[in-house]
Amino acid sequence: MPYKPLTRRGGFTLVELLVAISILAIVAVLGWRGLDSIVRSRESLTAELEQTRGLQLTFAQLQSDCTQNVNPLNYPNLPEGRSSWIEPERLILIRNVFPDNQAPAMQVVTYRLNNANLTRFESITTHDLKVLTQLLLQARNPPDDQVEVVMQKNLQSLLFSGWPLSSLTASANLNPPPSQAVGVQNVNQSNVTTGLQVILQLKNHDKPMTKIFILGGA
């Protein structure tokens, strides 16, 4: 019987398999790094969008509160004869409220920097100046359990500043209109604020954001 030599079957050698596995491992690592970079970029973009949305809502609410700020020239019996108290990291406003089918009322609104967050608190509405004085005292000394709305998180710094009416009238050499001067002898013009500037610095941001609002009560 004649001898037939063994034929080599088709397939991969061990070296070829090792090379293929190495190539697949490199491709997997590169793919994972690319996917991880995409996920991180998406998370960063989502955080930026949330901060931007928060800033828009914050400034819109500030605009509304400033527009409804009570005019102390029209209400000479307000506490301390004024309707706004502006400190570097806290803003207190007395604003008009117009409930449906009810007489206009007032409430105290407070913005402040609290544990790196910008928070907002609004009091109950009232028509009584004595109650308004108590609400103002509470705004200056808030209790520990007071529930405040977080408007913006992760703040590095916050600065409120304002412009009094007296400085504007003096620089322009103007006098208050006669209609405003009637019956308001107890109101000091230096207590009347016409403008509010807000400088807000977010963490991990190089430049602060600055907004200027006109107080409707001035």
Per residue in 18-48, pLDDT (tens digit) is: 777 888 888 877 777 777 677 677 766 677 7
Chain-wide mean pLDDT for the chain? 80
Q: How far is CA 76 from CA 57, 69, 159, 168, 188, in A?
A: 32, 14, 28, 20, 9
CA distance 138 to 28: 61
Per residue in 39-93, pLDDT (tens digit) is: 677 766 677 777 778 888 999 999 999 999 998 888 878 888 889 999 999 999 9
Can you name the residues that pair with 91 across neighbouring β-strands?
Answer: 86, 111
Q: Is residue 1 part of a domain?
A: no
Q: Is residue 35 part of a domain?
A: no
Q: Is residue 124 part of a domain?
A: yes
Tell me which residue of 156, 162, 69 sits closest to 116, measured CA to CA: 156
pLDDT at 99 over 70: yes
Strands 105-114 and 117-122: antiparallel
CA distance 114 to 206: 21
Q: Is residue 29 part of a domain?
A: no
**For the chain, how many structural domains are there in total?**
1
Q: Is residue 60 part of a domain?
A: yes
Q: Is residue 86 part of a domain?
A: yes
Q: Is residue 91 part of a domain?
A: yes
Strands 209-214 and 149-152: unpaired
Q: Is residue 208 part of a domain?
A: yes
Strands 90-97 and 84-87: antiparallel
Q: Which domain holds residue 171?
A: 48-214
- pTM, to two decimals: 0.70
